[in-house]
Amino acid sequence: MSDYPPHVVQPLHTAPVPRRVRASLAGATVLDTTSALYVWEAPYYPQYYIPKADVSEQFLVDEEHPHHIHLGSAQRYGLRVGEVSRSGVGKLFTESPVEGVAGRFRFDWDALEHWYEEDEEVFVHPRSPYTRVDALRSTRTVRVELEGIVLAESASPVMVFETGLPTRYYLNRTEVDFRRLEPSATQTACPYKGQTTGYWSVRSGDQLHQDLAWAYDFPTRQLAPIAGLIAFYNEKVDTFIDGVQVERPETHFS
């Protein structure tokens, strides 16, 4: 029998954050803490919950809107830094059956312009301490095809192994047939790899396959081996490893 009341969804897990966490808006530091709490609201990654004492009161706007949400009772707050306002982007938990949550703020990630773990910027959402991302050099041959057309082939790929995702194969640009690729304006970001600096679509006959390949020219320090290399969504292309075709994985990118 759960100790949680019916309106409260029990989080999967909580854990202390051993890293300094900061976030800024319009050039001002809104929060700065060494006592954040990881709260897994969903299975895939956590959110930061910030002690009230570590949030700058001068930027808080109490919207006087108490409500009950999935982890307990909270007061809704906005943010205002100079001319920049964000409405309804923070929740201060006043009561919660979840240990450690009461007395903490939970801010919408996109409400702040920059988030940092120690002095490194983090994108999209907090990094899970249980996710590992390794970039390993290999001499296995990787060939990428689409509808029988060879898009790239390399005997010196960098393989990226990331918890919960299929292996990604990053290839030298000289080994990619850019005659088949068309630049795209798409840009994405990853908490573990950084911000992409290029996307490419692939034209096959009259059909344009949108955003099949990407690159990180300036990845995070841990993923330095992939800098400038090209990867393809192996959910959407045919990939051969040492001449053997591998099954297309099924993910939310499929």
**Distance of alpha carbon 27 from alpha carbon 174, whole angstroms:** 40
**Distance of alpha carbon 131 from alpha carbon 46, whole angstroms:** 11
HSE-up of 194 (CA within 13 Å, CB side)? 18
Contact 12, 40 (CB under 8 A): yes
Which amino acid, one-letter code, is at 159? M
The tokens for 161 are 């192994």
Domains and CATH numbers, the chain: 13-122 (2.170.150.40), 133-246 (2.170.150.40)
| Whole-Å CA distances, 45 to 26, 31, 191 | 27, 21, 10
Per-residue pLDDT of the chain in tens (254 residues, 90 and over written 9) = 344 444 444 557 899 999 999 999 999 999 999 999 999 998 889 999 999 999 999 999 999 998 888 889 999 999 999 999 999 999 999 999 899 999 999 999 999 999 999 999 999 999 999 999 999 999 999 999 999 999 999 999 999 999 989 999 999 999 999 999 999 999 999 999 999 999 999 998 889 999 999 999 999 999 999 999 999 999 999 999 999 999 999 888 88
